[in-house]
Amino acid sequence: MTDTVLITGATSGIGAEFARQFAERGCNLVLVARAVAPLEETAATLRARWGVDVETIAADLLDDGGLARVLARLRAGAPGAADSGEAPAAAGGHAARVPVTVLVNNAGYGLVRPFADNALDDEVRHLRIHVEVPLSLAHAALQSMRPRRSGTIINVASVAGFTPRGTYGAAKAAMISFSRWANLVYGREGIRVTAVCPGFVHTDFHQRMGVDKGTVPAFLWLDAGLVVREGLRDTAAGKAVSVPSRRYRLLTALTHVAPSSLVARLAARGR
């Protein structure tokens, strides 16, 4: 069966690269992001280049209505939901009832200042986009994947999840921990769950934060193409955690033995 892949944050950076590499494999796509024009442009490019079906859902995942529409699309493939009309209008017609077989939880952003300097509301929204939203989407996806005894959930985390790096690192650590557990438990039911943990990647992420990319040494930057290729390879191998690139696998191993103060100093780069 051809996979149908729902990707959040699919218009830029790592999410756009997931969309491209899945389309290259002939998978059909459901792309989610807030801004409509880049979403439609990305969808049109992928349809034209790879001849795959691409649905779009323009939704702010931090907005209850936006999240509900994406949840409805994921539930549309669950047994008994096929004709329930749950699927969002934006996803449209027959395609909207095709079950999503792969979920990529990717949408996210960083906060430039440390915890106590931010408004609490900003911290709560940041926690929601990185933890509550991906858990909600994974929960909905599992309702449709478990009865079919197959499916894949990729949580885009970060190497920051292995380091003391503020609430961003804490949120990513939560998704790494969840993925480890879910991979064990749902792996027995034929569902793969993988946390893909990139280091610094050339995307719009740092620019959106207003961070000077020059503070990070050149050798620490990765291309999204490599991150996604290695992430998909490790997911296919059933790994719970994927750290793309040899240099970050080495650095990650060092975080387990180096003093926390040194790791925290190194991890503070790029903010």
**Which parts of this chain interact with ligand NAP (CB under 6 A)?**
8-15, 33-35, 38, 60-62, 106-109, 129, 156, 158, 198, 200-201, 203-205, 208
Burial of 64 (0-12, 13-18, 19+ CB in 10 A): exposed
Smaller CB separation from ligand NAP, 15 or 99? 15
Smaller CB separation from ligand NAP, 158 or 194? 158
Helices (H) and strands (E) in the chain, counts: 10, 9
Minimum gap (Å) between residue 109 Cβ and ligand NAP: 5
Smaller CB separation from ligand NAP, 61 or 153? 61
Minimum gap (Å) between residue 1 Cβ and ligand NAP: 27
> Residue with the closest Cβ to ligand NAP?
13
Q: How far, in Å, are 17, 124, 163, 164, 249 from residue 255 at the CA level?
A: 28, 27, 7, 10, 10
Smaller CB separation from ligand NAP, 14 or 30? 14
Smaller CB separation from ligand NAP, 166 or 198? 198
Torsion of CA 243, 249, 254, 256, to 10 degrees: 40
Minimum gap (Å) between residue 134 Cβ and ligand NAP: 9
Alpha-carbon span 86 to 77, nearest angstrom:
10
Minimum gap (Å) between residue 234 Cβ and ligand NAP: 15
Smaller CB separation from ligand NAP, 76 or 201? 201
H or E segment and range at residue 118: none
Minimum gap (Å) between residue 166 Cβ and ligand NAP: 12
Return the residue matching tokens 């946390």: 195
Minimum gap (Å) between residue 119 Cβ and ligand NAP: 17
Alpha-carbon span 157 to 161, nearest angstrom:
7
Smaller CB separation from ligand NAP, 38 or 225? 38
The one-letter amino acid at 113 = R
Centre a 10 Å sphere on the Cβ of residue 39 and count the other Cβ atoms it contains.
21
Asked if residues 96 and 55 have their Cβ atoms less than 8 Å apart, the reply is yes
Alpha-carbon span 1 to 87, nearest angstrom:
21
Structural tokens at position 136: 């909600």
Minimum gap (Å) between residue 218 Cβ and ligand NAP: 14
Q: Kind of pairing, strands 191-196 and 151-156?
A: parallel
